[in-house]
Homo-oligomer: A and B are copies of this chain.
Amino acid sequence: MSQFEFFEKRLDFYREVAFSNLLSVLPAREPKRYFYDLLPEYPKRSGKGLRAALCLATCLAYGGRIQNAINSAVAIELFHNGFLVHDDVQDESMFRRGNETLHTKHGIGVAINIGNALNLFSLQVLMKNQALLGSKLAWQLFSESSEMLRQTLEGQALELGWIRDNVCDLSDRDYLRLALKKTAWYTCIYPCRAGGLIATGGGINPDRFYRFGWFLGIAFQIQDDLLNLVGNYGQYGKEIGGDLWEGKRTLMLIHLLNHCSSQEKAELKAILALSRPERTEDQVEWIYEKMIHYGSIAFGRKCARQFAGAALYEFHNAYGHLPDSEDKRFILEMVLYMIEREC
Residues of A at under 8 Å CB distance from B? Answer: 31, 33-35, 86, 89-91, 106-110, 112-113, 115-117, 119-120, 123-124, 127, 130, 135-136, 139, 142-143, 146, 149-150, 153-154, 156-158, 160-161, 164
Contact = CB atoms under 8 A, between A and B. Distances in A.
Contacts of A112: 86, 89-90, 112, 115
A34 B157 contact: yes
Copies of this chain, tallied across the complex:
2
Given A112-B89, A116-B153, A146 B127 contact: yes
B143 A113 contact: no
A130 B120 contact: no
Contact of A34 (B86, B120, B149, B161): B161
Most buried by B among A107, A113, A115, A117: A113
Contact of A124 (B91, B146, B154, B164): B146
Contacts of A161: 31, 33-35, 110
A119 B79 CA distance: 14
19 contacts: A34-B157, A34-B160, A34-B164, A35-B153, A35-B157, A86-B113, A89-B108, A110-B160, A110-B161, A110-B164, A113-B156, A113-B157, A116-B153, A117-B150, A119-B119, A123-B123, A127-B139, A127-B146, A135-B136
Nearest to A143: B127
Contacts of A91: 109
Nearest to A178: B31
